[in-house]
Structure 1
Amino acid sequence: MTFKTTFAAAAVLMTALLPVGAQAEFKAENPQCIAPSNPGGGWDYICRTTAKYLFDLGLIDDAMQVTNMSGGGGGVAFAHVTKERNEDNNLIVAASMSTSARIAQGIYEGATKESVHWLATFGAEYGAIAVDADSEYQSLNQIMDAIKADPRSVGIAGGSSVGGYDHIKPMLLAQAAGVEDVTKLKYVAFSGGGEAMTGLLSGSVQALSGDLSEMLGFLESGDIRIVAILSPERLSGHPDIPTAKEQGYDVIGANWRGLYMPAGASDEAKEFWKNAIQTMTESDAFQADLKAASIEPFNNFGADMDAYAAKTIEDVRTLSKEIGIIQ
């Protein structure tokens, strides 16, 4: 037996004797996070915050590239991942309640829960309704009264497609207000929360449906007024914002924040990203960042996340049938 043959045989034997975890160890290379929207919205926040803390905490060795891929209410990114990069071990994608809503309603053509691998939720925040600072509408009641008189009289912007969660929230409010056909609301869909805010400030719409974190900077600058937060009670960090419930509309709108990745990625990669994101959420600095954005901790990982995704998709499907979005 030659030295080369002996060395090769020894190498094979050593590999076989290694612990299973050592053989299966995965290390991210050139990682990427896709935000399915333009800069400035909730999905963009998820990717940029995740990219920062994964790198700062040493959970990944390479800085994570953030790519904005807007279109179709997240459908362009979803199709890109499922059809072109289904086995990419180094790709994660921002997700939220809007993602599960679009799957539930069939907006992402042919998509099911199993089309992607659900990684995690790490926070949730409440929806809000805002108007321009100079708006004639001083309260949610005034907006709802106008909509009851003429559902097309108030244009409402949102950073999601028709039927998405930003659309569902004002439909639920209108339903609570007694509007007979809530599908007649004038909802104007934008590619992300940033563009929807531009629509409000430009005067092309009269109200904005979104999440509180997307609105805080504009609230603090005095550009907008938030007429309602869709939370059970007023938030301790923003006690001046009235709830929809206290104004007579028993509507709660919580939006989870999280991530998915390609379904065809390796088990080792899926485990790596789950553990990395879970470790990230345990960081005090990360939690402080969420708190500053008015995002409450809401954690689901692994099997818990898969079960949660299944439940939210089914819940939205049922709700969508009740308010007439789907048959």
Structure 2
Amino acid sequence: MTPPRTLLAFALATSFTLAHASGVCLIPSKPGGAMDMACKLVQTGLKDAPGAPPLTLAYLPGGIGAVAWHTMVSQRRAEPDTLVTFSGGSLLNLAQGKFGKATPADVRWVAALGADYGMIAVRADSPYKTLADLLKALKRDPSGVLIGVSGTVGSQDWLKMALVARHAGIDPKALRFVALEGGGESFTAMHANYVQVVSGDVSEAHIYAGPGKVRVLAVLAEQRLPGKLATVPTAREQGIDVVWPLIRGVWMGPGVADADYQRWVAAFARMEATPEYARLRAEAGMYPFSMTGAALTAYVNQAVADYKKQAQQFNLLR
């Protein structure tokens, strides 16, 4: 008969193994938006990849990323198989001080998954057929249209719409924004007519756009984008010179061991070099932009500095 103490040791060892048999992709927003989509892309792309355990999805919304950031930095610093998804909006929040005194050096930047772009959308049955229609209505009555954005004043969705409004001669401070938690919530609110416009991202539009559902009025890209939104004109084509590119990627806690960090960096580098990943990325509504490890860290540092300059134009720094 096995001694009880041996059974206990076996049980503890087994539970430890099971607990570490899979990794986690942490989503700092509610389900349904582009952050959610990014983790699902990682989950699929890294399936059966060497050095990468199977990933489960977990949600930790709050403060447009602030809750997840502070949880990982203060309580879960060294988890070797926990990834957290981020976007250009996360970097903008860092630049503005919305994560407190946090800086890019507080975490370990693993990989960029691809590029995304801003867009402006309405319901398919909206009276606004073009961006010009919407801007005309906003000029006539700036507070008469509710605009759904992920985050509060100063978030990237707010800033995108503020830039478009300013280029059209509309005071952004006169507009009525509704702060929501993630792109999924924004589109849900629009379908319920709680808001009439969503300022969001192209990858989110890929999820929700379609006949009888959502009409995308403009993409904030340098030129028209291939694929599902190929017929949607850019804001520039419609006389509004606003371009808003952003990246999506993943980071890890600051206390993760170098060996584990490099293991993930290598796994992402291998994944992003494959034709299969290119296909998955396109299906997710993102465009080529691959960068890992030290190169991504340098890119993030520069992006935060650039976002800080942009935020100064609207007096958004804390």
Compute the TM-score of the two structures, normalised by the length of structure 2.
0.89
* Counterpart residue identity of residue 223, structure 1: K
Q: Does the alignment pair 1:193 with 2:183?
A: yes
Q: Is the 8 A contact 1:182 1:323 kept in 2?
A: no
Q: Is the 8 A contact 2:115 2:287 kept in 1?
A: yes
Q: Is the 8 A contact 2:25 2:56 kept in 1?
A: yes
Please report how far the alpha carbon of residue 304 of structure 1 lies from its aligned counterpart in structure 2 after TM superposition: 1.1
Tell me what 1:43 maps to: 35
- CA distance in 2: counterparts of 1:268 and 1:183, whole angstroms: 49
Tell me what 1:211 maps to: 201
Give the unaligned 5+ runs of structure 2.
1-19
Q: Does the alignment pair 1:280 with 2:266?
A: no
Tell me what 1:182 maps to: 172
Question: Aligned to 1:203, what secondary structure does the other structure show?
Answer: coil
- CA distance in 2: counterparts of 1:324 and 1:182, whole angstroms: 13
Question: Aligned to 1:56, what secondary structure does the other structure show?
Answer: coil
| Alpha-carbon displacement from aligned partner over 1:115-165 (angstroms, at most 9, x marks no partner) | 111112120111110001111211111222222333322211123343211
| Alpha-carbon displacement from aligned partner over 1:178-207 (angstroms, at most 9, x marks no partner) | 22x423322212111111001111111110
Output aligned runs, 1:225-236, within 5 Å: 225-236=215-226
Question: Aligned to 2:181, what secondary structure does the other structure show?
Answer: coil
Q: Does the alignment pair 1:299 with 2:290?
A: yes
Q: Is the 8 A contact 2:49 2:267 kept in 1?
A: no
Tell me what 1:247 maps to: 238
Question: Aligned to 1:297, what secondary structure does the other structure show?
Answer: coil
Question: Aligned to 2:285, what secondary structure does the other structure show?
Answer: coil
Tell me what 2:45 maps to: 53
Q: Does the alignment pair 1:223 with 2:191?
A: no
Q: Is the 8 A contact 2:51 2:263 kept in 1?
A: no
Please list every run of at least 4 consecutive aligned residues from structure 1 whose deviation after the TM superposition is greater than 6 angstroms: none
Name the CA shift for 1:261/1:184 in 2 (closer, same or farther; >3 Å): farther
Instruction: Pick from 128, 136, 144 the counterpart of residue 135 of structure 2.
Output: 144
Tell me what 1:70 maps to: 61
* Counterpart residue identity of residue 182, structure 2: G
Give the unaligned 5+ runs of structure 1.
1-27
Q: Is the 8 A contact 1:33 1:66 kept in 2?
A: yes
Q: Is the 8 A contact 1:72 1:161 kept in 2?
A: no
| Alpha-carbon displacement from aligned partner over 1:41-93 (angstroms, at most 9, x marks no partner) | 11111112112221233442x42121011111111111111110112222110
Name the CA shift for 1:188/1:182 in 2 (closer, same or farther; >3 Å): same
Question: Aligned to 2:47, what secondary structure does the other structure show?
Answer: helix
* Counterpart residue identity of residue 252, structure 1: V
Please report how far the alpha carbon of residue 221 of structure 1 lies from its aligned counterpart in structure 2 after TM superposition: 4.1
Tell me what 2:299 maps to: 308
Tell me what 1:131 maps to: 122
- CA distance in 1: counterparts of 2:166 and 2:88, whole angstroms: 20
Q: Is the 8 A contact 1:161 1:191 kept in 2?
A: no
* Counterpart residue identity of residue 37, structure 1: S
Identity of aligned residues (%): 33
- CA distance in 1: counterparts of 2:109 and 2:208, whole angstroms: 32
Name the CA shift for 1:91/1:276 in 2 (closer, same or farther; >3 Å): same
Question: Larger deviation: 154-163 or 120-129?
Answer: 154-163
Output aligned runs, 1:108-127, within 5 Å: 108-127=99-118
RMSD, matched Cα: 1.6
* Counterpart residue identity of residue 45, structure 1: M
Name the CA shift for 1:312/1:250 in 2 (closer, same or farther; >3 Å): same
Question: Larger deviation: 151-160 or 84-93?
Answer: 151-160
* Counterpart residue identity of residue 155, structure 1: L
Tell me what 1:257 maps to: 248
Please report how far the alpha carbon of residue 294 of structure 1 lies from its aligned counterpart in structure 2 after TM superposition: 2.5
Q: Does the alignment pair 1:202 with 2:200?
A: no
Please report how far the alpha carbon of residue 174 of structure 1 lies from its aligned counterpart in structure 2 after TM superposition: 0.9
* Counterpart residue identity of residue 118, structure 1: W
- CA distance in 2: counterparts of 1:118 and 1:160, whole angstroms: 23
* Counterpart residue identity of residue 244, structure 1: A
Instruction: Pick from 260, 276, 279 the counterpart of residue 269 of structure 1.
Output: 260
* Counterpart residue identity of residue 266, structure 1: A
Question: Aligned to 1:298, what secondary structure does the other structure show?
Answer: coil
